[in-house]
Chains A and B, each alone.
Chain A
Amino acid sequence: GAGVSQSPSNKVTEKGKDVELRCDPISGHTALYWYRQSLGQGLEFLIYFQGNSAPDKSGLPSDRFSAERTGGSVSTLTIQRTQQEDSAVYLCASSFGGRQGGTEAFFGQGTRLTVV
C-alpha cells in the first residue's frame, strides 16, 4: 500500500522489557513524526525527523526513549525498561516537510502498547 505502515499494531510487554516500534513512511516523504496518545487524550509530540537534519528530540519523555531513522526512510522507536505509564498508542506520521513547514501529515494506524 501507499500509506504509512506501523508494526506491530498491538504489543503487550512485561514491565522492564524493551520494545521496538516500527514505522514505514510514505515513499518520498522527508519528514517523519512520532507521537504518543494516552486514552482519551491529545497527541503528545515525541520526535521529528526532517531529511538529513538533526532530529528534534525535544518531546522524548525520558532517556529510556530513543528513535532512529535509517536511510531517510524507515524509523524505529525504542523504549527501554518499559513502565506501565508507557502504555499508550504510538502514532507515526510522514509528510513532504515543505520549506514552510508542517505540510499535510499522513498517519499510520498506530501501535497500541500495553505494559503489564
Chain B
Amino acid sequence: SQQGEEDPQALSIQEGENATMNCSYKTSINNLQWYRQNSGRGLVHLILIRSNEREKHSGRLRVTLDTSKKSSSLLITASRAADTASYFCATGGAQKLVFGQGTRLTINP
C-alpha cells in the first residue's frame, strides 16, 4: 500500500495561476520529498523538507509540512505550460522512499 496520497488526482489551471497540491501520509517520517514526472518516465527531484521544518522555498515552489496533521502541500506560483506534469510526494522514513499516486497537473495556455 502507498504511504502518501496526493490530492487532487488531477488539476487543470490557466497559465499564470498558482497550483496547489496536497499530500497526506500515515506514519512518522524523517523527511518528505516532492518529485515531478514528465511523459511517464523518470522522476525528477524538486524539493525535500525535513520533519523539523515547516516551510521551504525553491524558486517558484513552496512546500509546507504539518507533522501534526501528517500532511504537506506543494505550491507552484505563476504557473507555466512547462509545469504540466505529474507531481508525486514521497515519504522517507528509516529506509525506503514510498510514493503516492500523484497529481496530474495541466497548465492551459
Taking a contact as CB atoms under 8 Å apart, the answer to whether B43 and A104 are in contact is: no
The answer on a CB contact under 8 Å between B43 and A107 is yes
- The verdict on B82 contacting chain A, using a C-beta distance below 8 Å, is no
Q: Is the CB of A110 within 8 A of B42?
A: yes
Q: Which chain A residues border B98 with CB–CB below 8 Å?
A: 45
Please tell me if B73 contacts chain A, counting CB pairs below 8 Å. Answer: no
Asked if residues A48 and B88 are in contact (CB atoms below 8 Å), the reply is no
Out of A39, A50, A102, name the residue touching B33 (CB < 8 Å).
Answer: A102
Min Cβ gap B5→A in Å is 9
Given contacts A107-B44, A110-B41, whether A33 and B2 have CB atoms under 8 Å apart is no
| Alpha-carbon gap, A33 to B33, bound state (A) | 15
**Is A56 within 8 A of B45, CB to CB?**
no
The answer to whether B16 has its CB under 8 Å from any CB of chain A is: no
Q: Which residues of A contact B31 (CB under 8 A)?
A: 100-102
Q: Across the interface, do B88 and A42 meet the contact criterion of CB distance under 8 Å? A: yes
Whether A100 and B30, one on each chain, are in contact in the complex, defined by CB atoms closer than 8 angstroms, is yes
Known contacts A42-B88, A42-B100, A42-B102; is-contact A101 B93 (Cβ 8 Å): yes
A67 to chain B, nearest CB (A): 13
Closest chain B residue, CB of each to CB of A108: B42
Interface string of A11-39 (1 = CB under 8 A from B): 00000000000000000000001010101
Contact with B along A84-105 (1 / 0, CB 8 A): 0000010101010000111111
- CA–CA, A4 and B43, complex, Å: 11
Pairwise interchain contact B88-A43, C-beta atoms closer than 8 A: yes
10 A-B contact pairs sorted by A residue (CB < 8 Å) = A41-B101, A91-B43, A100-B30, A101-B31, A101-B92, A101-B93, A102-B97, A105-B35, A106-B45, A109-B41
**A residues apposed to B, CB below 8 Å:** 4, 33, 35, 37, 39, 41-45, 48, 50, 56, 89, 91, 93, 95, 100-110
